[in-house]
Chain A
Amino acid sequence: MADLLSVLVSGVLVGTVYAYMAYGLGLIYGVLRVVNLAHGAFLTLGVYVTWWLHAAFGLDPLVSLLVTVPLGFFLGALVERSLVFRLRDSPPVTTLLLLFGVWLIVRNVLYLIFGGADRSLLTDYSLESFAMGPLAVSLPRVIVAVFSLLGFLVLALLLKKAWAGLALRAVAGDREAASLSGIPVNRVWAVAFGIGSALAMSAGSLMSLFYSVTPEFGARFLLKSFCVVVLGGLTNMGGILVAGVALGVAEDLTAFYFHTGYRDVVSFIVLVLALVLRRADTG
């Protein structure tokens, strides 16, 4: 019983970072109607930058958020301005392929520089856990969950209360009506892409605490991001949080009852089911 409870708690904790990692994908789709396959690139860049800052300067992964958030925003806005924006009137598959190209380039540059070996980032508290009644709870997972929830909260407030959030939601609703209400849509697109990429890169920072660092990191978690976003409802923050937690729990239960090898299959199955069941409202 205590084992099962531990598994559930751990699944919930991982699920929050899944939601945090996936939200940028939904935000970019909502505002630009672009499927950002470069999301995988930003996730991977996030873990590598964090790992490198730790290896070279001993910087704590949580401190490296101060680097990955602004860097992600800048790189995302740059990709939007220099590439995506040029294809704004072409069919969706064109931008999808373009961004897939961006991801391939980033992945292969990382192979070139760092090679394909798995690396890991070990901090003083990486293996710490504490007892909560009968449960053993992993400290890094708790920390990551707290940061993810805080990030989610800040973003929700920004979208709901702030001036910039109003612009983002208006452009997501109707780009022409937004521009005729005085909103510079081009700038909003760059900002949305920047925020989405900052979320992905900083998610990489958080996840470097308990996943290994490889150029394939993005591939694995891009699929999970898709799964969470499709299940949760694209730009629906509450839905994405629930979907992230559901995926985290489902994965940990699968690993617990069957085999850890099946963990990554869960997201595929959920993605297929979600697409079949929800296909009516994904447009």
Chain B
Amino acid sequence: MTAGVPLLEVRGLTKSFGGLTAVRDVDLTLQQDEILGLIGPNGAGKTTLFNLLSGSLPRDAGSIRLRGREIAGSPAHRTCQLGLARTFQVPRPFLSLTVFESVLVGASFGRRGGGEAPWARAERCLRLARLLRRRDSRVAALNLAERKRLDLARALATRPYALLVDEVAAGLNPSEVKETVHILRRIHEGGVGIIYVEHVMDAVMGVSHRVQVIDRGRTIAVGSPGEVTRNPTVIEAYLGGSDGGGESDG
């Protein structure tokens, strides 16, 4: 890995649905060993941005470079195999699989290499997500907090360089939020860069090194959590628009 090349570098990313431009000319840089918070009022385009980055949605314009390599235009499974994984705002577990099998899916089909057997990696990721004792449960039997941690474990098992985390704290109680944020930190300590979309401000401000604020599809501020919360444009966006208080991002 060449020093100085960002882990993920996005330039001019744009996506319209009919007349509505959901993501407009967004630039974004995720450095090695960084957690970048991504916040904005409801409907700001954060989830669309994730869908573009992960290859679920085709972009209209822009480039996405992962470790210097252009990945825009790759289908979703290829993007994952190249080392960019994501979790879901509403976890999308494989209900008919067991907890272990779900994580094994990520470990078997994600980025190749690593010299570790898929089952061993799956177990390691389960342990990190504190789900090892539920290893053989049906996914359908898990509660929301466990499903969110399972989604993290599944995504981590694909051996990503960069992980897109979508509202992993939403809907959880404070102690569950704390535990989940702790797991995010552990994943980051393992050498994974993270972009973290979140409405739960304590969680995202506490864990992020930098924060990027998006409103109506554009970037309106980037900086440290402290700078961003004092930025008048950001305050205006949150007060002037919808409240953004932990609801889902449309």
Determine if chain A interacts with chain B: yes
Number of interface residues of A (CB under 8 A): 18
Measured between alpha carbons, how far is A177 from B158 in the docked complex, in Å?
Answer: 12
Are A183 and B109 interface neighbours, CB within 8 A? yes
Are A178 and B105 interface neighbours, CB within 8 A? yes
* B-contact 0/1 string along A154-171, CB 8 Å cutoff: 000000000100110110
Are B108 and A163 interface neighbours, CB within 8 A? yes
Q: Is B32 an interface residue (CB 8 A)?
A: no
CB distance from A183 to the nearest CB of B (A): 5
Given A169-B97, A173-B97, the answer on whether A179 and B77 have CB atoms closer than 8 Å is: yes
What are the residues of chain B within 8 A of A169 when measuring CB–CB? Answer: 94, 96-97, 101
Residue of B nearest to A30 (CB): B96
Are A182 and B94 interface neighbours, CB within 8 A? no
Q: Is B80 an interface residue (CB 8 A)?
A: yes
* A-contact 0/1 string along B83-99, CB 8 Å cutoff: 00110100011111100
What are the residues of chain B within 8 A of A182 when measuring CB–CB? Answer: 77, 80-81, 106, 109-111, 158
Number of interface residues of B (CB under 8 A): 29
Interface contacts (Cβ under 8 Å), in number, total: 71
What are the residues of chain A within 8 A of B108 when measuring CB–CB? Answer: 163, 166-167
Which residues of A121-173 are within 8 A (CB) of B?
Answer: 163, 166-167, 169-170, 172-173
Are A176 and B97 interface neighbours, CB within 8 A? no
Are B110 and A177 interface neighbours, CB within 8 A? no
Measured between alpha carbons, how far is A179 from B74 in the docked complex, in Å?
Answer: 12
User: What 18 new A-B contacts, CB under 8 Å, besides A180-B56, A181-B85, A183-B77?
Assistant: A163-B108, A167-B105, A169-B96, A169-B101, A170-B102, A170-B105, A173-B94, A173-B96, A174-B93, A174-B94, A176-B76, A177-B88, A181-B80, A181-B106, A182-B81, A183-B105, A184-B75, A184-B78
Q: Can you give 23 A-B contacts (C-beta < 8 A)?
A: A166-B105, A167-B109, A169-B96, A169-B97, A169-B101, A172-B96, A174-B92, A174-B93, A176-B76, A177-B88, A177-B94, A178-B94, A178-B105, A179-B80, A180-B54, A180-B77, A180-B86, A181-B77, A181-B155, A182-B77, A182-B106, A182-B110, A183-B105
